[in-house]
Amino acid sequence: MAATGTETIRRLDVLVVGAGFGGIYMLHKLRNELGLDAVALDKAGGVGGTWYWNKYPGALSDSEGFVYQYSFDRDLYAQTPWKTKYVRQPEILGYLNGVVDRYDLREHISLETAMTDASFDEVAGIWTVHTDRGITFECRFLVNGLGLLSATNVPDFPGMNDFEGRLVHTGAWPEDLDLTGKRVGVIGNGSTGNQVITATAPIVGQLTSFQRTPQYSVPTGNYELNPAELRSHRDDFDANWDQVHNSSVAMGFEESSIETFSVSAEERERIFEAAWNKGGGFWFMFGTFCDIATNEAANEEAASFIRRKIAEIVKDPETRRKLMPAGLHARRPLCDSGFYETFNRPNVSMVNLKETPITHVTEKGIVTADGTLHELDVLICATGFDAVDGNYRRVDVRGRNGQSLSDHWADGPTSYLGVATTGFPNMFMILGPNGPFTNLPPTIETQVEWIAEAIRHVSSTDAGWLEVKPDVETAWTDTCGEIADQTLFPRAASWIFGANIPGKKRTVMFYLGGMKEFRSISSAEIASGYPSFMSSADVLAEA
C-alpha cells in the first residue's frame, strides 16, 4: 500500500466491485483457487448485495431455495439450513454472510466503499479505480458485480422533499422502520410492491396502494419442505444441478413441452388449476405449457385464467376492477402470498393512478388528480430499479482511448455473454447486459467461473489482456434481439427492456436463449482459445 498526500494507493491483481452473490463467489475463486491478490469493495454496510439492501417486510425469493444458492461446493450445499420452498431475506443474508466467513473472505472486503470512477491505461495495462474513501486501487483486472436489480428507481413527484413522514425505497430499507399502526402508502405493485403490501397490511393502521398498472400474479405456494424433500435436494445434487444447467430458465424444474392448444379446454383448465394450487410464477408460465411466452393466444389463455381467479378472490367490485390486469402476461412472472386477498381487508385501499395520477406530494401525504390528499405517515416507493446497466452509468468508467462506458452504450448496453464489452480490456462483468434471463445463481456461477478462467488464461500467457472483438459484441446483441423478438416479452413495458425508467432507451438487455445454450457457447469460447477476443498485441498492432 502506497500513500500520496491524502490518497492511499493499493496495487492488486484483481479488484472486484460488489459483494453480493456474484462478488462473493468471484473473490473466493480469485483468492482461494487462483491464489491472486484480490480485494472486493461494496458501498453497502454489509455483504449480501440484494439481500443486504432489500430488508423490507415480506422480502422473499421467487426462485425455489434448493436452486437459489451456490452449487460450487457440495459440502456448503449440504449445510444450507433452509426449510421452506422459497426463502426469506434474513435467511439468504445469513447464508451469504456464512459463505463469506467459511472461505475467509471478510477481511478482504472493504464495505461502505464506493467505486466512483475507473480508467484503463493501455500502455501499462492497468486499471485505476478511485473510491469515495480516499483509497485508489491499481489492478490488472477489474471485475464488476454491480448487480442488475440494484440501482434504485426513485420517482420524482413535485414536493417529494416536503413530505414530513418517512420516505423510503424498498431497495434501501431502513432497519429501524416500524410500520405498526401507521398510515402507509405504497407506490408500485411489481414483485416488491406485491410482497410489501401483503406482508405489511396486517400490521399497519391503514394501507393505500398507489397502482399504475395491474399485474398478473399467482400464489407462491410456499410451504415447509418435508424431510424427504430436503433429503432429495441433497442426495440428488448431481441430477438436480445437471437439470438446472440443461434447462432454459434454470429454475429447478422441467419446462413444459406441451403446446397450449394441443390439449382440450378442460385439460388446459386442469393444468392451470394444478399450477395455481402448486404455486410459483415461473412454474405457471414455463411449467404448464411451452408457448405462453411466445404465442399470443396461448398467453391469453393463461392471462384469462388468472383474471378469473382475481374475480373470484376480490370481493369489492370497484377494487376488483382496479386490480384486473389487461393484455399480455409478459413481464417477469410474479407470485404472491395472498396479494389479491389483501384487498379484502378493511384497512387496505387502492388508488388507480391511471385514473387519478399523483399530482404532487405535500408535507402530509400524496395528492392525486381528483384533489384528494391521502395523508400518510410513511411513503414506500416499491418503484423498482434502473435495471442491468443502471449502476454502470452511475460511475465514470473509461476504457481504451478514454472512451466512457456510457458513450459506448449510448444506443443501449451491449456485451458479449454479459461478461465483456469492447474497448474495456480486462474488465469483466457479472450479470452484465445481455446475460441469460434465468434463476440467477446458476448464471452467476457460470459467469464467475468463465471470468476466473479468462483471468487465469491472461495471467499465464502473453495475451496481456482480453478484449472482445467489436463484431462479436454486435453479433451477440443482434442474437439477443432476434431471440427476444420471438417472444412476447418486448411487447410488455417492463424493466426487462428498460421501459420502466423515464427517458431510458428501450433495448434488449437479456439473452433469452436459455441456460443450456448459454453454457454451451461460454464453454466453447474457452475451449477454442478465446476466438472472440483480441489480445493486447492484436489491439496495439491495429492502433
Which residues form the interface with ligand FAD (CB under 6 A)? 17-23, 41-44, 49-50, 52, 54, 59, 61-63, 68, 114-115, 145-147, 149-150, 192, 391, 395, 430-431, 439-440, 444
Using alpha carbons, select from 395, 443, 449, 458 the residue that is nearest to residue 17: 395
- With CB under 5 to 8 Å by kind, the binding choice for 187 among ligand FAD, ligand NA7, none is ligand NA7
Q: Indicate the SS3 state at residue 168.
A: strand
User: How many other C-beta atoms lie within 10 A of the C-beta of residue 159?
Assistant: 14
Q: Which does 115 bind (CB under 5 to 8 A by kind): ligand NA7, ligand FAD, none?
A: ligand FAD
Q: Is the dihedral of CA 247, 252, 258, 261 positive or negative?
A: negative
Pick between residue 115 and residue 361 the one whose CB is nearest to ligand FAD: 115
Residues 504 and 495: their CA atoms lie apart, in Å, by 10
Q: Binding ligand NA7 by CB under 6 A: which of 23, 49, 58, 188?
A: 188
222 binds ligand NA7 (CB under 6 A): no
3-state secondary structure of 538: helix
Closest CA to 500 of 418, 382, 355, 329: 382
Distance, CA of 138 to CA of 118 (rounded, Å): 10
Integer Cα distance of 450 and 41 in angstroms? 21
CB-based contacts of 78-85 (< 8 A; 24+ apart in sequence): 78/234, 83/224, 83/225, 83/230, 84/222, 84/223, 84/224, 84/225, 85/220, 85/221, 85/222, 85/223, 85/225, 85/279
Contact 443, 515 (CB under 8 A): yes
Which residue in the set 44, 93, 149, 472 belongs to the binding site for ligand NA7 (CB under 6 A)?
149
Residue 22 binding target from ligand FAD, ligand NA7, none, CB below 5 to 8 Å by type: ligand FAD
Q: How far is the CB of 248 from ligand NA7 (least distance, A)?
A: 17
Residue 187 touches ligand NA7, criterion: CB under 6 A? yes
Per-residue DSSP letter, 3: E
Segment contacting ligand NA7 by CB under 6 A, of 135-143, 298-306, 361-369, 377-385: 377-385
What is the rounded distance in angstroms from the CA atom of residue 303 to the CA atom of residue 42? 40
CB of 193 to ligand NA7, least distance (A): 5
Three-state SS for 428?
strand
Site residues for ligand NA7, 285-304, by CB under 6 A, read: none
CA-atom Rg of the chain in angstroms: 24
- Distance, CA of 65 to CA of 83 (rounded, Å): 8
147 touches, from ligand NA7, ligand FAD, none (C-beta below 5 to 8 Å by class): ligand FAD
Residue 138: CB atoms within 10 A of its CB come to 16
CB of 338 to ligand NA7, least distance (A): 17
Cβ of residue 28: shortest distance to ligand NA7, in angstroms? 24
- In the complex, least distance from residue 464 CB atom to ligand FAD, rounded to whole angstroms: 26
Give the three cell numbers for residue 372. Answer: 384528494
- Select the residue whose beta carbon is closest to ligand NA7 and give its number: 190
Which of ligand FAD, ligand NA7, none does 439 bind, CB closer than 5 to 8 A by kind? Answer: ligand FAD
Query: Is residue 212 part of the contact set for ligand NA7 (CB under 6 A)?
Result: yes
* Contact residues for 81 (Cβ-Cβ < 8 A; gap 6+): 91
User: Which of ligand FAD, ligand NA7, none has residue 395 at its interface (CB below 5 to 8 Å by kind)?
Assistant: ligand FAD
Per CB under 6 A, which of residues 349..368 are in contact with ligand NA7?
A: 353
Q: Which does 384 bind (CB under 5 to 8 A by kind): ligand FAD, ligand NA7, none?
A: ligand NA7
SS3 content of the chain, % helix, strand, coil (to 5): 35, 20, 45
Enter the C-alpha cell of residue 513: 436463449
CB nearer to ligand NA7: give 191 or 415: 191
CB 231 → ligand FAD: shortest distance, Å? 23
How far apart CA 118 and CA 397 sit, in angstroms, is: 5
CB of residue 352 vs ligand NA7: minimum separation in angstroms? Answer: 11
CB of 31 or CB of 307, closer to ligand NA7: 307
By rule CB under 6 A, what count of residues binds ligand NA7? 19
193 contributes a contact to ligand NA7 by CB under 6 A: yes
Q: Please, which residue, 251 or 366, has the CB nearer to ligand FAD?
A: 251
Which option in ligand NA7, ligand FAD, none does residue 105 bind, with CB closer than 5 to 8 A by kind? none
C-alpha grid cell, residue 464: 496481456
Q: In the bound complex, what is the minimum distance in angstroms from residue 53's beta carbon to ligand NA7?
A: 11
Q: Is residue 382 a contact point for ligand NA7 (CB under 6 A)?
A: yes
Q: Which does 383 bind (CB under 5 to 8 A by kind): ligand FAD, ligand NA7, none?
A: ligand NA7
Q: Which of residues 447-506 bind ligand NA7 (CB under 6 A)?
A: 495, 500
Contact of 52 with 29, CB cutoff 8 Å: no
Q: Pick from 281, 230, 241: which is nearest to 60 by CA?
A: 281
Residue 440 binds which of ligand NA7, ligand FAD, none (CB < 5-8 A, kind-dependent)? ligand FAD
**Helix (H), strand (E) counts: the chain:** 18, 23
User: Which does residue 399 touch among ligand NA7, ligand FAD, none (CB within 5 to 8 A, set by kind)?
Assistant: none
- Residue 189: CB minimum distance to ligand NA7, A: 4
From the list ligand FAD, ligand NA7, none, partner contacted by residue 188 (C-beta under 5 to 8 A by kind): ligand NA7
- Residue number of the CB atom closest to ligand FAD: 49
- Is 332 an interacting residue with respect to ligand NA7 (CB under 6 A)? yes
Report the Cα–Cα distance between both ends of the chain, in Å, rounded. 34
From 445, 444, 446, 409, select the one nearest 424 (Cα to Cα): 409
User: Residue 215 Cβ, how far from ligand NA7 at the closest point, in Å?
Assistant: 7
Instruction: State the cell numbers at 439.
Output: 434463476
C-alpha cell at 414: 451491449
List residues binding ligand NA7 (CB under 6 A). Answer: 149, 155, 187-193, 212-213, 332, 353, 382-385, 495, 500
